[in-house]
Amino acid sequence: MTPGGRKAGRMRQGRPTGMSGPEPQRLFGRALDAISEGSLITDANQRILYANAAFTAVTGYSVEEVSGRNCRLLQGPETDSIVLAALRSSLLRGGSFRGEVLNYRKDGTPFWNALTVSPLRDDTGRITNFVSVQRDVTAQRKVHERLQFLALHDSLTGLSNRTGLDRHLSGLARRIVTGTEHSAIGVIDLDDFKTINDTFGHEAGDAILTEFSRRLRGKLRATDFLAHRGGDEFVVVIEGLDLRHAREQLQPILARLHEAVDTAFSPGPGPGISVTLKMSLGITLLPPGQEPGNAVFRRADAALHHLKSGNDVRDPWWHLDTTPPTAPDGRTLQPGTAEPDRNAEEKVRSVYDSHIYHRRLFNGGLHLLFQPVIDLRTGDLRFLEALARLRLEDGTILSPGDFLPMLTPQDFDQLFKAGLDLALGQLGVWDLDGRHLRVSVNVSPSTLLHPDCAHWITSTLERHNIAPHRLILEVLEDHIDDDATQSQAFTAILALGVGLAMDDLGAGHSSLRRLTALAFSTVKIDHRILSQLRTSPIPTMTFLATMAQMGQNMGWDVIAEGLEDDGITEAATVLGIPYGQGYHLTRPLPAADVPPWITDFTPPNRSGLMRTLSGALAYHWQFARLGAPHTGPAGACPMTELLNHIGASKAEHWHRQQHTALGDHLASSAELLQWLTIQTTGDGHAGKAEKL
């Protein structure tokens, strides 16, 4: 087949025409039909020209039914929108795509399709066709999902197994509980269960265990957790208990669990045979913040043994371990006693605060401030960055460093959704005031990789009636990888029409490959880079000037974060950084303060005169690095008035020589550069003011 040939749009007996001569065409068709994997050939507009026999066998569509149609006919209601966005993006860029997508056969049944799509080009490089290879991997996916399930679940009962239990307990100390809330871990045992196996057989015993686990699950609260440790032993985890009233709180919860054995069990299919079982439970309390370990299970097992070693009539059927907790050094602590170790006190206090903060964050405490990003050339507002804060019940505002470290990846997903909803909702409020602004929201890469992330973004935009281009997602640079999975996720998000910003460039270990491989629309330079203008100005100016030039070449919006004073702001502006944010421009603002700030904001240095030695250093460095004199007469140079005001005669002399004939300026250029560097870093006789 000649891609893009004159007859490429016609089909004959299921094979493309356009090959020279009937025999090569028949050979081509027989070869593709012999392939066990489905194959399609489309034109450049993705209309199907050819389908082999394997495609018909997998999908149920005949060649005649798909001829001239788009491959979208295989998509359905559950087809992943993110994968489709990545597929469309790859094809629009003229690249290849490889991935797994849920498709639908002609009869409506779904199947997982391992899909590879590649472009074909003519001699001029123009795409003429696309070739796809498709393979039904539904069985493999089911096996993989089953293996994943069995890794964490018991195959008999479907409950979490030991591994799943360990995973649940590993996060227990970080759950949403107050400083007085405890968890309880209990071990359940069926009395004399061995008799069931000996009398009716292990198959009957397995059936009873399955039914028992089903009944237990039906008696649990939504916050409780149940696992099968093996045999007739189960583990229950109960949260939200007060140490002082734990026994009273446990009574109704455990009474419901006991209902699982109130009705007799049938050991087999035969009629008239039933058995009545009894259950025993040993349970112990786990203080907030304590990592569950073997010691906890030993206490629960000991409580169970204590219960079962008593007389045959037991009321209640459960026993609560009352062993006092131990201090970090192994000493026993009675309830209410204080641990004298100050480090231990601090750790307990930290855990307590973490629980309080976590609960408050997702129960009305999330608060947004907005920091403007300004066009340094015009003073216009570019967009607003939404900054998450935690507002405690007493009105105290906490910064992200106080609450982000305690969050899990799932918490970051929840925080992103909540922050996105607040930010876009605020855009809607400003819209009513006639201010159509843009906003950026921070997002973790793990959240971007979540299969529902694109849906979260789309639904929130639609709910608040906000156009996608008004939203920018900021991803921290030191959390970004350039692997294919993350790149595909970024592409899918960009396909929604939102912007993507690399935040804190320079805080991690970025590379040019990462910068150019991922489709960022905005690059934000970390504030720590800007602060180095005070300590190592020449390397820092080199970096900033390079980023400004790259931004022009790559079409990025380059933003300097951390513009904390007039000198840093002026230097960044002189070096060509187009946008900036920082306390020198404005502090983060409550939403209500944004409109009046926009009305009253006056850009710094509207006069156009040079005001700082940092700005003068940046200006002169641009000429000195090229060995060039300053342009124009000295009287029109932006440095002249500043140096005259300072009254440094040597600096004025060196500066005048930058406006003399070519070649006479080189020695004085180096002297002036060194003098300005010393003045801005504070290494010389500092006394003079930085700013005019």
In degrees, to the nearest 5, what angle opens at C-alpha 301 toward C-alphas 228 and 251? 80
Residue 302 in 3-state DSSP?
helix
On whether the CB atoms of residues 87 and 107 are closer than 8 A, the answer is no
pLDDT band of residue 300 (cuts 50, 70, 90) is confident
Q: Is it the case that residue 204 has pLDDT exceeding 60? A: yes
Cis check: omega of the bond before 316, within 30 degrees of 0: yes
The CA distance from 266 to 274, in Å, is: 5
* Cα(97)–Cα(288) distance, integer angstroms: 48
3-state DSSP assignment of residue 458: helix
Asked if residue 421 has pLDDT above 90, the reply is yes
Among 133-147, 309-323, 435-449, the range of highest mean pLDDT? 435-449
pLDDT at 509 (0 to 100): 41
3-state secondary structure of 181: strand
Mean pLDDT, residues 88-93: 81
Residue 74 contacts residue 83 (beta carbons within 8 Å): no
- Crossing angle between the packed helical segments 537-554 and 566-574, to the nearest 10 degrees: 50
pTM of the model: 0.51
Nearest to 637 by CA among 650, 626, 622: 622
Name which residue leads in pLDDT, 357 or 188.
188
Judge residue 503's burial from the number of C-beta atoms within 10 Å of its C-beta, 0-12 exposed, 13-18 middle, 19 or more buried.
buried
- In whole angstroms, give the CA distance from residue 154 to residue 588: 51
- The residue whose two tokens read 């396909």 is 495
Of 15-29, 415-429, 507-521, least confident by mean pLDDT is 15-29
Cα–Cα dist 305/287, whole Å? 22
Residue 387 pLDDT exceeds 90: yes
* Per-residue pLDDT band at 480 (split at 50, 70, 90): very low
Which residue type does 461 have?
L
Q: Identity (one letter) of the amino acid at 544?
A: L
182: Cβ–Cβ under 8 A, 6 or more apart, which residues? 241, 242, 243, 246, 285, 286, 287, 288
What distances in angstroms separate CA 316 from CA 282, 287, 308, 566, 581, one per listed residue? 11, 24, 12, 74, 66
Report the share of the chain in percent with pLDDT over 90: 26
Residue 658's nearest CA partner among 689, 614, 617, 627 is 627
Burial 311-342 (b: 16+ CB within 10 A, else e): eeeeeebbbbbeeebeeeeeeeeeeeeebeee
Q: Taking each helix axis from N to C terminus, what angle separates 453-464 and 409-432, rounded to the nearest 10 degrees?
A: 20
Q: Say what the pLDDT of residue 469 is.
A: 92
